[in-house]
Structure 1
Amino acid sequence: MTCSPSRRAGLTFAIRDIDTFRGEALFWSAILVSNTLGTSLGDFLSDSSGLGYGGGVVLITALLALLLALKYVPAVPNVLLFWLAFVLTRPFGATAGDLLTKPTAKGGLDLGTVGSSAVLLTVLFGLMGWAHLQERRNNPAHHTPATA
């Protein structure tokens, strides 16, 4: 039987359970590395890979969808999927932001700061509304009005 890295280190990956300096150092080191790797990957995909902003967004979206599918494969550890998705959200955000804001001559949509903020707020509120409706469908007893 093999022992996971978190067990060997004596640390947990549950954020609420990090209560030692060693645990904090591991957590923040992982955050720093993932942010750096993610930003570098986003810059590479947008500027150097030949994919451009749109192609970079499509590639990262496909990788995130693959990770979501792998969530249902028991042999793949959820901790690994979490950290891979965590790293991939950084280049996704940077590349999608560039796609929305950069001029069309550079392959962007030229929406500017206000336009891209409006698009992102619309997406955010749409997803929040969808999540709320899903929750109401799955837990109807919690959302029935109280009668006096």
Structure 2
Amino acid sequence: MSSRASSEERSPLQRAVSKVPEVTLAFWILKIAATTLGETGGDWVTMSLKLGYAIGTAIFTVVFIGLVYAQVKAGKFHPTLYWATIVGTTTLGTTIADFTDRSLGLGYAGGVAIVAALLVISLLVWHRTEGTVSVQSVNTPRVEWFYWCTILFSQTLGTALGDWMAGTDRGGLGLGYETSAVIFGAGLAIVAALYFWSRVSHTLLFWAAFVLTRPLGATLGDFLDKPHAQGGLSLSRLYASLVLIAFMVACLKLLPQRPARQGAAAG
């Protein structure tokens, strides 16, 4: 009886925050794995199964909405559900970016510009509505939808950035997957240094890291499944995706996944 009363007396903020994991090293390991899986999984559906970018985007949009709805409705933090929703944003982000760059013929630079604008708009609307874009502000269903839409746009931007820097077609910079991965890894190292040795807002650094881990994962995913002639390892997209799923399951079993504490640093 007392435990039930204690649960009922918890504030909406405490209930909502308990569905968001602590931002630890384990969080970022899983995030990079999820973004790489989003690249290989999205490409498997659109390219290997030859469904195309439009159909792939439609399929993953339904999956994304369903997973976010389940996440918002959940009464507490479920690690598997949370990371499944993250994967849902990465696969949808992959297909949206590819549809924009290739099917609409805007090229990589055009896709980056559009998605970057959508991400900025999402953050501005969220901040104007709630007064903050901190992860710790996720205290109502409305803010949870802001959170997941912002994550979706950050994942999509990451895919577009990764393709733009690594690709040699559609106006790509042609740096290759290995060089691009090193550049994005260096960017993450700078963000980490600022986190530990500066007074830069942790909220700002969190979103910067969230964006940068996506192109890192995208370039790693491309490196796994692209042909040797394009600088990749030419692995089966399905095989690479299954390996990444197994890795994430192992991480969820072995690495601690605790809900974020109220008042903890956002990033």
Per the normalisation by structure 2, the TM-score is 0.40
Instruction: Please state if 1:66 is matched with 2:187.
Output: no
Instruction: Please state if 1:106 is matched with 2:224.
Output: no
Q: Deviations over 1:5-63 (max 9, x none)?
A: 95994346235742152x23532342232122111101101211121111111111111
Give RMSD over aligned pairs. Answer: 3.3
Residues 11/110 of structure 1: CA separation in 2 closer, same or farther (3 Å cut): same
Q: CA deviation at 1:81?
A: 0.8
SS in 2 for 1:56: helix
Which amino acid in structure 1 is aligned with residue 150 of structure 2? A
> In terms of mean alpha carbon deviation, does 109-118 or 53-62 score higher?
109-118
Between the aligned partners of 1:125 and 1:25, the Cα distance in structure 2 is 26
Between the aligned partners of 1:126 and 1:26, the Cα distance in structure 2 is 30
Residues 121/25 of structure 1: CA separation in 2 closer, same or farther (3 Å cut): closer
User: Corresponding residue for 2:166?
Assistant: 46
CA contact (8 A) 1:12 1:18 kept: no
SS in 1 for 2:232: coil
Q: CA deviation at 1:122?
A: 8.7
Which amino acid in structure 2 is aligned with residue 14 of structure 1? V
User: Corresponding residue for 2:155?
Assistant: 35
Between the aligned partners of 1:29 and 1:122, the Cα distance in structure 2 is 27
Which amino acid in structure 2 is aligned with residue 85 of structure 1? A
Residues 7/105 of structure 1: CA separation in 2 closer, same or farther (3 Å cut): closer
Point out the structure with max Rg over C-alpha.
Answer: 1
Work out the percentage of aligned pairs sharing the same amino acid. 41
Structure 1 residue aligned with 2:218, among 94, 97, 108?
94
Per the normalisation by structure 1, the TM-score is 0.66
Q: Deviations over 1:44-101 (max 9, x none)?
A: 0121112111111111111111111111123211111100010111111111011111
SS in 2 for 1:71: helix
User: Corresponding residue for 1:145?
Assistant: none
Instruction: Please state if 1:57 is matched with 2:181.
Output: yes
SS in 2 for 1:76: coil
- Which consecutive residues of structure 2, in runs of 5 or more, have no partner in the other structure? 1-125, 257-267
